[in-house]
């Protein structure tokens, strides 16, 4: 484990100390956990869209008929 020195405001560090005493842990443990959580949520690479499983969004709103031309409708660029 690497030792680091950080500067934090007195109120922030005091909050960590008080909470650490309340949960019977060390403030340094809580700070390490907070750093790990930040790393996981903000710094780690997300999975690629190619690796994600498709999500179900339910069924169709209305059934298609033989006369429906969905491709033509999607490609229609008549934005009135």
* Bigger pLDDT: 79 vs 28: 28
pTM over the 0.75 mark: no
Domain boundaries, given as residue ranges, for the chain: 1-44
Exposure string for 46-67, b = 16+ CB within 10 A, e = fewer: eeeeeeeeeeeeeeeeeeeeee
pLDDT tens digit sequence for 31-78: 999 999 999 888 877 777 788 888 888 887 888 887 887 777 777 766
* Residue 17 confidence (pLDDT): 96
Mean pLDDT of 16-22: 96
CATH among 1.10.1220, 1.10.860, 1.20.1260, 3.30.1310 for 1-44: 1.10.1220
Residue pair 30/21 in contact by the 8 Å Cβ criterion: no
User: What are 71's two structure tokens?
Assistant: 């491709």
Helices (H), the chain: 10-22, 27-38, 70-75
For residue 2, which of 33, 32, 39 has the smallest C-alpha distance? 32
């Amino acid at each position: 484990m690497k030792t680091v020195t950080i500067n934090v405001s007195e109120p922030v560090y005091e909050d960590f100390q008080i909470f650490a005493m309340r949960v019977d842990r060390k403030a340094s443990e809580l700070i390490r956990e907070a750093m790990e959580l930040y790393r996981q949520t903000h710094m780690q690479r997300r999975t690629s869209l190619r690796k994600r499983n498709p999500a179900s969004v339910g069924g169709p709103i209305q059934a298609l008929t033989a006369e429906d031309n969905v491709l033509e409708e999607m490609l229609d660029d008549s934005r009135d």
